[in-house]
């Protein structure tokens, strides 16, 4: 949902020069899939999948509450970590 509204969000936060960082912050943590796969094997599928959902939801909520571009970038990175875990957890 954030991607669809990203032009409006960036306009409201006056951060058009940082737009690429918002997208990169989401995609880069998804590269953490090998460590996530190892953690899933160690801690079990169900608990890992639930933790990934919580991380993704917390990152999404915080991204929605962000008041600056730096916060938006950081919270989208958290959301990306949860998304990477969700890809592995299936």
Report the largest interatomic distance among the alpha carbons of the chain, rounded to a whole angstrom: 43
Range in 3-7, 42-46, 77-81, 82-86 the model is least confident about: 3-7
pTM over 0.85: no
88 or 49, greater pLDDT: 49
User: What are 12-71's pLDDT values in tens digits?
Assistant: 888 777 777 887 777 776 665 666 667 777 878 888 888 889 999 999 899 889 888 899
DSSP state of 66: -
> What is the model's pLDDT at position 25?
78
Residue matched to tokens 């949902």: 1
Q: How many CB atoms lie within 10 A of CB 7?
A: 11
Q: Would you say residue 75 has pLDDT above 80?
A: yes
What are 85's two structure tokens? 């875990």
Give phi and psi for 61, each to the nearest 5.
-65, -45
Residue closest to 23 by CA, chosen among 84, 81, 76: 76
């Amino acid at each position: 949902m954030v991607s669809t509204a990203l032009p409006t969000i960036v306009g409201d936060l006056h951060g058009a020069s940082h737009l690429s960082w918002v997208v990169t912050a989401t995609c880069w943590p998804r590269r953490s899939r090998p460590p996530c796969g190892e953690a899933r094997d160690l801690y079990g599928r169900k608990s890992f999948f639930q933790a990934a959902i919580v991380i993704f939801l917390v990152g999404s909520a915080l991204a929605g509450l962000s008041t600056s571009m730096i916060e938006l970038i950081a919270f989208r990175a958290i959301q990306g970590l949860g998304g990477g875990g969700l890809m592995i957890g299936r």
